[in-house]
């Protein structure tokens, strides 16, 4: 089964072709760092306008890199939510129009279920049950993953997402957008024990996270010091990164124990973080669990993960009608988009 994936929930316009839900034939991503960089964060109106310019070129590139004509596709999978509605609508409308023109089934995919599906691409041999840690710009959550069932939420952030904290700290430190990779690079020259930043909820039972207190602690420290030297900037970045990563490792370990499963998949943009990969890798060796980290280009937003998630739905006979709509906020497992009608 050849499925075209289309993803435009935030500031990446992406298209990809995946065979049988596992094999990536092409994956094209058009980023917008140049559009949003000057503002230090995503400007929704500019994001959707750029998507409109890019969408047909990105989809055409994905098809030509896969060596396919649209007639050879078996279905279209498109992100329906959550995300920025203006951005979502561009990919959704294009995907539906293509499906309509070619007489193909179209299926709406939940963006986080897409991130989780990156696991099937990176580790096709991994069989559920396993624990999924989704850490991205908008989410920080632990799920139990079972075959044929929606992911079950175990815990999530009560305020900011961890990626959002990386982005805000980058701005406080005068580092460029996107913030996560910039903070991580700065941290390499610093000391993680230079400052003791808070790890909220670390000692509290359960699997919830909190990142707004950490962000505020960094803001107060930066304000107290005024002009920062390179060394101070590196120390703050390293100490922040250590405080951001520790709860992810501790709560993931706790979830694996509580759920009695032996494998963890870490997905979403923050899964690209080097320190997290090292610390989770050490925990996996010490505790004897398997930790799966998809490669970085499958962790940040991409359409291969959407095609993989959509392939599983299409293989089960799920398709949505052409009234398929986009939603800005929608919890995993309760997608409100219509089901059952073929395109």
Ligand X SMILES: Nc1ncnc2c1ncn2[C@@H]1O[C@H](COP(=O)(O)OP(=O)(O)OP(=O)(O)O)[C@@H](O)[C@H]1O
Binding site for ligand X (CB under 6 A): 9-10, 83, 111, 115, 136-139, 163, 166-167, 178-181, 184, 268-270, 272-273, 300-301
99 vs 118 by CB, closer to Mg ion: 118
The encoded tokens of residue 333 equal 């497992």
Shortest approach of Mg ion to residue 280 CB, angstroms? 19
Residue 242 to residue 328: CA distance in whole angstroms: 31
What residues pair up with 13 in beta bridges, in sequence order? 30
75 vs 83 by CB, closer to ligand X: 83
Shortest approach of ligand X to residue 88 CB, angstroms? 11
10 vs 15 by CB, closer to ligand X: 10
Q: What is the DSSP string of 66-104?
A: HT--GGG--EEEEEEESS-HHHHHHHHHHHHHHHHHHT-
- Ranges of H-type helices in 123-273: 162-172, 179-187, 212-225, 230-259
**Which of the choices Mg ion, ligand X, none does residue 166 contact, using the CB cut-off of 5 to 8 A by kind?**
ligand X
79-138 residues near Mg ion, rule: CB under 5 A: 136
Helix, strand or coil, per DSSP, at residue 314: helix
Shortest approach of Mg ion to residue 246 CB, angstroms? 23
DSSP conformation class of 193? T
Residue 242 to residue 264: CA distance in whole angstroms: 20
**Which of the choices ligand X, Mg ion, none does residue 239 contact, using the CB cut-off of 5 to 8 A by kind?**
none
- Give the contact letters, 139-168, x = binds to Mg ion (CB under 5 A), - = no: ------------------------------
**Which of the choices Mg ion, ligand X, none does residue 157 contact, using the CB cut-off of 5 to 8 A by kind?**
none
Shortest approach of ligand X to residue 161 CB, angstroms? 6
27 vs 136 by CB, closer to Mg ion: 136
120 vs 261 by CB, closer to ligand X: 120
Q: Which helix (H) or strand (E) holds 15?
A: strand 13-19
State phi, psi for 192 to the nearest 5 degrees.
Answer: -75, -15
Shortest approach of Mg ion to residue 111 CB, angstroms? 6
Other Cβ atoms less than 10 A from the Cβ of 23: the count is: 13
208 vs 301 by CB, closer to Mg ion: 301
Shortest approach of ligand X to residue 202 CB, angstroms? 19
Stretch near Mg ion under the rule CB under 5 A, chosen from 19-27, 150-158, 294-302, 322-330:
294-302
Stretch near Mg ion under the rule CB under 5 A, chosen from 67-75, 182-190, 298-306, 318-326:
298-306
Other Cβ atoms less than 10 A from the Cβ of 320: the count is: 25
Residue 32 interacts with Mg ion (CB under 5 A)?
no
Residue 142 to residue 129: CA distance in whole angstroms: 13
From 301, 307, 308, 332, residue interacting with Mg ion (rule: CB under 5 A): 301
Q: Which helix (H) or strand (E) holds 41?
A: none
32 vs 273 by CB, closer to ligand X: 273
109 vs 242 by CB, closer to Mg ion: 109
139, 264, 145, 152: which is closest to 209 by C-alpha?
Answer: 139
Q: What angle do CA 28, 29, 30 make, to 5 degrees?
A: 125
Residue 61 to residue 256: CA distance in whole angstroms: 40
24 vs 183 by CB, closer to ligand X: 183
Residue 171 to residue 270: CA distance in whole angstroms: 17
**Which of the choices ligand X, Mg ion, none does residue 132 contact, using the CB cut-off of 5 to 8 A by kind?**
none
Shortest approach of ligand X to residue 137 CB, angstroms? 3
Cα atoms found within 13 Å of the Cα of residue 177, Cβ hemisphere only:
18
Shortest approach of Mg ion to residue 247 CB, angstroms? 20
Residue 16 to residue 133: CA distance in whole angstroms: 24
Residues that bind Mg ion (CB under 5 A): 136, 301
């Amino acid at each position: 089964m050849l499925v075209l994936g289309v993803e435009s929930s935030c500031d990446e316009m992406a298209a990809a072709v995946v065979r049988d839900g596992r094999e990536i034939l092409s994956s094209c991503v058009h980023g917008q760092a140049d559009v949003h960089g000057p503002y230090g964060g995503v400007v929704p109106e500019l994001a959707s306008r750029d998507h409109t310019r890019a969408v047909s070129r990105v989809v055409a590139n994905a098809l030509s890199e896969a060596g396919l004509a649209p007639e050879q596709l078996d279905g279209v999978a498109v992100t329906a939510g959550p995300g920025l509605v203006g951005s979502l609508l561009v990919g959704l409308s294009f995907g539906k129009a293509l499906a309509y023109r070619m007489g193909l089934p179209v299926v709406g995919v939940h963006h986080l279920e897409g991130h989780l599906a990156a696991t099937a691409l990176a580790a096709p041999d991994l069989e559920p049950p396993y624990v999924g840690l989704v850490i991205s710009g908008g989410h920080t959550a632990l799920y139990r993953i079972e075959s044929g069932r929606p992911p079950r939420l175990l815990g999530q952030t009560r305020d900011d997402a961890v990626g959002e904290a990386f982005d805000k700290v980058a701005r406080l430190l005068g580092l460029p957008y996107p913030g996560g990779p910039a903070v991580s690079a700065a941290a390499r020259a610093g000391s993680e024990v230079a400052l003791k930043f808070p790890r909220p909820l670390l000692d509290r039972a359960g699997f919830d996270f909190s990142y707004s207190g950490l962000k505020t602690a960094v803001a107060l420290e930066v304000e107290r010091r005024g002009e920062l030297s390179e060394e101070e900037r590196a120390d703050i970045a390293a100490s922040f990164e250590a405080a951001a990563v520790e709860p992810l490792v501790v709560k993931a370990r706790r979830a694996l124990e509580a759920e009695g499963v032996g494998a963890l998949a870490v997905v979403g943009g923050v899964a690209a973080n080097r320190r997290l990969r090292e610390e989770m890798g050490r925990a996996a060796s010490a505790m004897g669990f398997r930790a799966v980290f998809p490669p970085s280009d499958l962790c940040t937003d991409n359409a291969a993960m959407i095609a993989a998630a959509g392939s599983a739905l299409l293989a089960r006979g799920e398709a949505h009608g052409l009234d398929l709509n986009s939603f800005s906020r929608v919890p995993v497992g309760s997608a409100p988009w219509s089901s059952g009608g073929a395109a």
